[in-house]
Amino acid sequence: MTIDEKVRKTLAELSPTDPKKLFDEVRAAMEQERNALISRGAASESERDNLCKELRDRWLARKNGLLSFVDENWLKASPKELKPLVGRNFNALRQESTALEVAALMKEVPLRAQAPAGREISISDAFSASDSVSAAVSYINREVPGDLTLPGNRRPLGSLHPVTQMQREIEEIFLNLGFRIESGPEIESVYYNFDALNIPESHPSRDDWDTLYIDSKTVLRTHTSPVQIRAMEKYGAPLYIIIPGKCYRHDNPDASHSPMFHQIEGLAIASDITFADLKGTLDFFAKKLFGEKIRTRFQPSFFPFTEPSGEVSISCIFCGGEGCRVCKESGWIEVMGCGMVHPQVLRNGGIDPEKYTGWAFGLGIDRFAMLMYDINDIQLFFQSDVRFLKQF
């Protein structure tokens, strides 16, 4: 709150613990403005006269001067018990305000040295133009300094992006289950992105129409699965990780597709892990994220890197499974793929499939965010529209 705003409020509205501090603030502001005018100086006598009158009227004018507001709102409106204290401080302030009278200011405010027409004055000229050293000093500091007591311009802090919020919610669930977060490169070799994951050269996903190739041996990763192989090589078994990150595919952008999207995969490898463990974990995850009433459904599917493989659906979070536009009247929404890690993939990661088994799943973070926040266009996540982002 500025000093102009404070003097326009009563003491009851300001509720000061010590009224004297309010008068100290007024005194400091008055002295600061007086010193600023003295430091600035004036280019001519007429300018000095006008500047001195403006400062005097701002503080001492009978109708709208700041001290008239102090008299009206603080002194006259103060309760009886505070009258003596407020009166003493106001009288002291009024005595000090005589330094703002025009005659007093005219003695203090120096005239800045003027340059001859067409020539910029130098510092040495400023000293020779007047016997007063203060005239030269005022020339050097001729710009009015900024008020350092004013609050700065603050940029709005904003909030986490909805995709980031969704990712952190998913991570939190699996971290509490004992998984750890693993990451890997977004520019990946063909070996880790395809070969090590048991994806043959004839597979459609390796075509130029689906994958963004940098060269014949390097791609922008199409999924976060390559990190599974890297983690197996690095840590061995047992292994419990989740892998969030960006992925890239040769998709034309529309309401449900983007050439860049976010994926998170989970991998669990240990002795005697079964599909029942996978189902139980994903059912727990779905209930934790979407609510205890959510039901899960597993249907057979095919992925080169898992065997057996399945697709996971959840009961529609919008209609409760009764059928609506979102779930296409089926009552179910397909949300992720999963399966038991293929023995060849384990071998490629340096793990013996005779000793260990594992399961994996993969889901799109963007799609989960669209479900959670009822967003119907994935492109909204990447358009940086502040009107959209402010909702989160």
Model confidence over 74-123: pLDDT tens digits? 888 888 888 888 888 888 888 888 888 888 888 888 887 554 444 444 43
**Shortest CA distance to 344 belongs to which of 195, 243, 218, 205?**
195
Could you tell me where in the chain the CATH 3.30.930.10 domains are found?
A: 162-389
- How would residue 295 be classed by pLDDT, with cut points 50, 70 and 90? very high
Rounded mean pLDDT of 306-334?
91
Residue 192 has what pLDDT? 96
208: pLDDT strictly greater than 90: no
Sign of CA dihedral 28, 29, 31, 36: positive
What would the 3-class secondary structure string for 46-62 be? HHHHHHHHHHHHHHHCC
The H-or-E segment that residue 19 falls in is helix 19-40
Residue 107 has what pLDDT? 86
pLDDT digits (tens, 9 = 90+) for 227-266: 999 999 999 999 999 999 999 999 888 988 999 999 999 9
- How would residue 364 be classed by pLDDT, with cut points 50, 70 and 90? very high
Strands 239-248 and 180-181: parallel
Residue 19 has what pLDDT? 82
Q: What residues have CB less than 8 Å from 281, skipping those under 6 apart?
A: 177, 266, 268
Do residues 256 and 228 make contact, with C-beta atoms less than 8 angstroms apart? no
Q: What does the angle CA 18 – CA 21 – CA 22 come to, to the nearest 5 degrees?
A: 100
How many Å from the N-terminal Cα to the C-terminal Cα in the chain? 30
Amino acid at the residue 70: V
- How would residue 128 be classed by pLDDT, with cut points 50, 70 and 90? very low
Q: Which CATH superfamily is domain 162-389 in?
A: Bira Bifunctional Protein; Domain 2 (3.30.930.10)
